[in-house]
Chain A
Amino acid sequence: MADPKRLKIRVDPDKCQGHNRCKAVAPELFVLDDYGNAREAGDGTVPAGMEDKAYLAKSNCPEFAVEIIED
């Protein structure tokens, strides 16, 4: 049986303007710096079962700063 797809997220720091929408919809997947700008938690690997939240974070970012990489 093929492994389920593993997702990785990444926040483009040049695009992020600190709207904090990703942090609001998927708090487990993002961390904020002292200025409120976001980056992916850890190495960006999305734990199994949290894929929907990752896509939700992507589709709510007004700056199109959240990327999802499918392994």
Chain B
Amino acid sequence: MRARPPVTDWATDFDHLDPRWVTDPFPIWDEMRTACPIAHTERFQGVYFPSRYADVRAVAYDTDHFSSRRIIVRETPPPPIPAPPITSDPPEHRPARMVLLPAFTPDAIKKLEPRTRALCNELIDKFIARGTADAAVEYAQEIPVRLIAHMLGLPENDGDLYRRWIKMVLEDGITDINAVIQASTEMQQYFMQHVQARQQAPGDDLISYLTTVEFKGQRLTPENVIGSLRLLLIAGIDTTWSGIGSCIWHLAKTPPDRIRLVKEPDLMPLAIEEFLRAYAPVTMAREVKQETTINGCTFKPGRMVLLSFPAANRDPEMFPDADKVVIDRKENRHAAFGLGIHRCIGSNLARLEMTVAVEELLKRIPEFTLDGNVTWSEGTVRGPRKLPIRFA
């Protein structure tokens, strides 16, 4: 990536690709919240950044003024690449979402738990004897890749292909529009071949479900099916990989929390929610559709808004001790999965994967520490990309 001019003022010239932001954004957001709660930048053709929970919430709820047709801030906007329902606004949003929801209810997702536990243990088997591992590369990233492939009925060893597309869309694509277009074209071809195969011979996987499901007596168009598949693949992998990685990172550097979770496994659900709050992986975006004013800031049409659920989750007005990770926090209305009509459709799946991944790791390797430099992804999804740990 080419060098970017360094940021001199976070309130008027922020850059979410700045290395300081990528490594440790929390002090920057804390400063913004008091100095300038809705920051802006002329970079990326103009972007706003609300850092308070209330303002993030206001934008998320206001689908009249803020559109989801662009949900990633890029230097050059690419042609629209629909991935309904995440890129849909009302009224198209609701039917596109309704067809997907039944596949992601808690009961539907619960059926994946045995496969998830087995998968985690297969991964641990490969590195446990070594005494060291890269928990991001060898563990966290493999779990969602294989589970989504399992759900969609795709070969689990196509994982390298998925990770390549995800990096092209979510990371390289912020500054290189050709990477987005190239990845979209390849995904289109890949999914088209699988959709056609399911039309001939449907199975019990999610692609078969999408090719045969009817909404108000109508099947989805092939473009709609492929768009939704693109969403499930991109949104279901990087995000959960980051979530799992952040849990392990926290436990590696915070022995009291790790020891407590080993002794009190019943705390796990609360702990997972707290990790989701403190290390929420996903920052969405919206395009300003019509001029409006929130908290004294005028949003100009055509510009983008970074919708930082991670920043909202660290707002002390909403969360007492917002900067502390309290693994038994009882009241936790965190926004890690978004707010309003675009609530993450895979939230139950993500929770299952994070819970099982941490539980199985702690069962097999109750003691571990960081063992070298950790690196973080940049852009839409934040999580460890290198996470060396040492044990026993």
Contacts and interface: CB of A to CB of B under 8 A. Distances in A.
Interface string B258-298: 00000000000100010000000000000000000000000
A62 B269 contact: no
Contacts, number: 51
Nearest to B348: A20
A62 B276 CA distance: 13
Contacts of B341: 17
A29 to B, nearest CB: 15
B357 interface: no
Contacts of A63: 339-340, 343
A32 interface: yes
Chain A interface residue number, banded: 10 to 19
Contacts of A32: 105-107
B330 interface: yes
Contacts of B204: none
B348 to A, nearest CB: 6
Q: Is the interface of A mostly helix, strand, loop or mixed?
A: loop
Nearest to A63: B339
Interface in B52-106: 98, 101-102, 104-106
A47 interface: no
Contacts of B107: 32
Nearest to B331: A59
Interface in A7-22: 17-20
Nearest to B106: A20
Interface of B: 98, 101-102, 104-107, 269, 273, 330-335, 337, 339-341, 343, 347-348
7 contacts: A17-B343, A19-B337, A20-B106, A20-B348, A35-B101, A63-B339, A63-B343
